[in-house]
Amino acid sequence: MMYSRYSRLVNLQRKEDSRGSVIENCVSENTDTRGENLTRVDTGHLVGAVKVEDKADQAIRGQEEDSISLPGSGLQPDEICRDASLDQLWDRLCNPPTKCCSLLKRHLTPELLVLLRDRITEFGGRLEDCIRSGCENTDSGVGVYASDPDAYTVFAPLLDAVIKDYHKVSELNHPNPDLGDIAKLDFGDLDPSGNLIVSTRVRVGRSHDSYGFPPVLTKEDRVEMEKKSQEALNKLDGELKGSYYPLSGMSKETQKQLTEDHFLFNDSDRFLRAAGGYRDWPTGRGIYFNDNKTFLVWVNEEDHLRFISMQKGGNLKEVYARLVKAIRALESSGLSFAKREGLGYLTFCPSNLGTTLRASVHIKIPKLAATPDFKAFCDKYNIQARGIHGEHTESVGGVYDISNKRRLGLTEISAIQEMRRGVEAVIAEEKRLGGGN
Ligand SMILES: Nc1ncnc2c1ncn2[C@@H]1O[C@H](COP(=O)(O)OP(=O)(O)OP(=O)(O)O)[C@@H](O)[C@H]1O
């Protein structure tokens, strides 16, 4: 058993040097969760400038006290990589190549950096693992990933702030799961005319509670998780019965076709790549689906598991009811999922935790989307518009991916109802503007 290590700031002083760089000197105490191995270390940091000696870091890693290569001494932005030190990452965040408005930038203060820099989770996760992507991609919206489920506790001072900001909640008191009574759903097909909604999809993410997230996973971990997941999936029956297809050995053509058809994931997200999401690709990844591809499971994409229900047209009731059956079956199949009081189900990206539910339609709304108020309209209904090839893609032919924005602080059934109300409003507005024929 490994114990999380905590660093407690004892003293922090700031002063300016002759070149105008702000220098922080701090004294912190390191202890593990048992309160043992207490050490007192002096740390010097330059804030937003070149790196200085960092005795705490070296002591923790058991290294010699020699100087480490400096970010201000020749390392180019493109060279920030998985081995970049915390100070190199911090320097990049303080000196972004373009304007940086991420939640990471907003919430990782020098004080928090000092407080968290020496902590280690029970999975071996460190602050660097959580912020690497946001420092490499300074155009990130969020910029933080959890290194593992324990990171939500160990790095809570940073992650809680990011979560509250992203999800627009003042308290982290996510309710207990409530999938609703699927026999009594008060909605059906959101677009009976079939003119607007191309397809409907609802997904949730789940993480095995005994494994870390991509930054700390080994190839062997992924293979083990894949095996466990496959065993549980093989127990599904009825409409959910299907087969598992590992990515290793799948032809490039099949992968391309499945991706174009919106069923499969790929390795093209630079934010996820920088977070370690594609290490050892494609080992340990794969997709499970039933015969008519209305129920699918992604294994070891961004999250350990993504359960997906989807079909052509706008019948949200059928899509959601199928997903609920799958969640219930898989939660009683021997798998144990990571959860935390107040945060709900834990996922790699803090933007997804809570219900982890994203319910979307691909919908033709050229008229509404062309209005200057489109974003404000979406905000009013707590819905989000994306392009149709996934997050960070563009719309094609006036077709948008419209989904619930909120995943935390409400139940699953409330998130679905929020999306349903938003989509109904979108349809009404598109028709009012003369579309939808
Ligand atoms: N309503 C929908 N109908 C058909 N395909 C969809 C629908 N919604 C999403 N998809 C497809 O699912 C794939 C994944 O999309 P995307 O990455 O945006 O969302 P996600 O799986 O919810 O994950 P994340 O929010 O973490 O990015 C893409 O191919 C996208 O086109």
Determine which residue's CA is closest to atom 25 belonging to ligand 1: 391
Q: Is the CB of 418 under 6 A from ligand 1?
A: no
Mean pLDDT of all residues in 89-97: 95
pLDDT of residue 134: 98
Beta bridge partners of 54: none
Residue 133 has pLDDT above 70, yes or no: yes
- 360 in a labelled binding site: yes
- 200 in a labelled binding site: yes
Quick count: other Cβ atoms within 10 Å of Cβ 221?
20
In the structure, what pLDDT confidence band is assigned to residue 395 with cuts at 50, 70 and 90?
A: confident
Determine which residue's CA is closest to atom 20 belonging to ligand 1: 390
pLDDT of residue 81: 54
Please tell me the distance from the alpha carbon of residue 156 to that of residue 154, in angstroms, as a whole number: 6
**pLDDT by residue (tens digit) across 41-51?**
333 333 333 23
pLDDT of residue 82: 57
Strand pairing category for 358-364 and 383-386: unpaired
Determine which residue's CA is closest to atom 19 belonging to ligand 1: 390
Q: Could you tell me where in the chain the CATH 3.30.590.10 domains are found?
A: 182-432
Mean pLDDT of all residues in 69-92: 60
- 203 in a labelled binding site: yes
pLDDT of residue 245: 97
CB 386 within 8 A of CB 393: yes
Determine which residue's CA is closest to atom 11 belonging to ligand 1: 262
**pLDDT by residue (tens digit) across 109-123?**
999 999 999 999 999
Q: Is the CB of 200 under 6 A from ligand 1?
A: yes
Among 204, 263, 322, 388, name the best residue to mutate to test ligand 1's pocket (greatest count of ligand atoms within 8 A of Cβ).
388
Mean pLDDT of the chain: 85
What predicted TM-score, i.e. pTM, was given to this entire model? 0.82
Centre of ligand 1 from the C-alpha of residue 355, in Å: 16
Ligand 1 atom closest to Cα of residue 358:
22
DSSP 8-state code for residue 29? E
Ligand 1 atom closest to Cα of residue 298:
21
Mean pLDDT of all residues in 400-423: 97
pLDDT of residue 84: 84
Q: Is the CB of 132 under 6 A from ligand 1?
A: no
Please tell me the distance from the alpha carbon of residue 395 to that of residue 163, in angstroms, as a whole number: 28
Tell me which of 437 and 63 has the higher pLDDT.
437
Centre of ligand 1 from the C-alpha of residue 79, in Å: 31
pLDDT of residue 46: 37
Q: Is the CB of 108 under 6 A from ligand 1?
A: no
pLDDT of residue 132: 97
Determine which residue's CA is closest to atom 12 belonging to ligand 1: 262
Centre of ligand 1 from the C-alpha of residue 389, in Å: 7
CATH 3.30.590.10 given to domain 182-432? yes
Range with lowest mean pLDDT among 23-32, 170-179, 267-276, 405-414: 23-32
pLDDT of residue 389: 75
**pLDDT by residue (tens digit) across 296-323?**
999 999 999 999 999 999 999 999 999 9
Determine which residue's CA is closest to atom 31 belonging to ligand 1: 389
- 358 in a labelled binding site: yes
pLDDT of residue 390: 67
Q: Is the CB of 302 under 6 A from ligand 1?
A: yes
Ligand 1 atom closest to Cα of residue 306:
21
Q: Is the CB of 225 under 6 A from ligand 1?
A: no
- 390 in a labelled binding site: yes
Mean pLDDT of all residues in 146-156: 98
Q: Is the CB of 199 under 6 A from ligand 1?
A: yes
**pLDDT by residue (tens digit) across 189-205?**
999 999 999 999 999 99
Centre of ligand 1 from the C-alpha of residue 197, in Å: 15
CB 121 within 8 A of CB 147: yes
- 297 in a labelled binding site: no
Among 298, 362, 386, name the best residue to mutate to test ligand 1's pocket (greatest count of ligand atoms within 8 A of Cβ).
362
Three-state DSSP at 214 gives helix
Tokens of 70: 């400096």
Between vectors from CA 404 to CA 257 and to CA 396, what angle results, nearest 5°?
A: 40
ipTM of model over 0.90? yes
Centre of ligand 1 from the C-alpha of residue 141, in Å: 18
pLDDT of residue 217: 97
Question: Under CATH, which architecture does the 5-167 domain have?
Answer: Orthogonal Bundle (1.10)
Mean pLDDT of all residues in 54-74: 29
Q: Could you tell me where in the chain the CATH 1.10.135.10 domains are found?
A: 5-167
Residue 66 has pLDDT above 60, yes or no: no
- 425 in a labelled binding site: no
CB 316 within 8 A of CB 420: yes
Sheet holding 242-246, edge to edge: 242-246, 286-290, 295-299, 305-312, 197-206, 358-364, 399-404, 383-386
**pLDDT by residue (tens digit) across 326-352?**
999 999 998 999 999 999 999 999 999
pLDDT of residue 397: 83
Q: Is the CB of 401 under 6 A from ligand 1?
A: yes
Centre of ligand 1 from the C-alpha of residue 262, in Å: 7
Please tell me the distance from the alpha carbon of residue 225 to that of residue 404, in angstroms, as a whole number: 29
Picking from 410, 408, 423, 304, the residue whose alpha carbon sits closest to that of residue 359 is 423
Residue 109's contacts (CB-CB under 8 Å, 6 or more residues apart) are: none
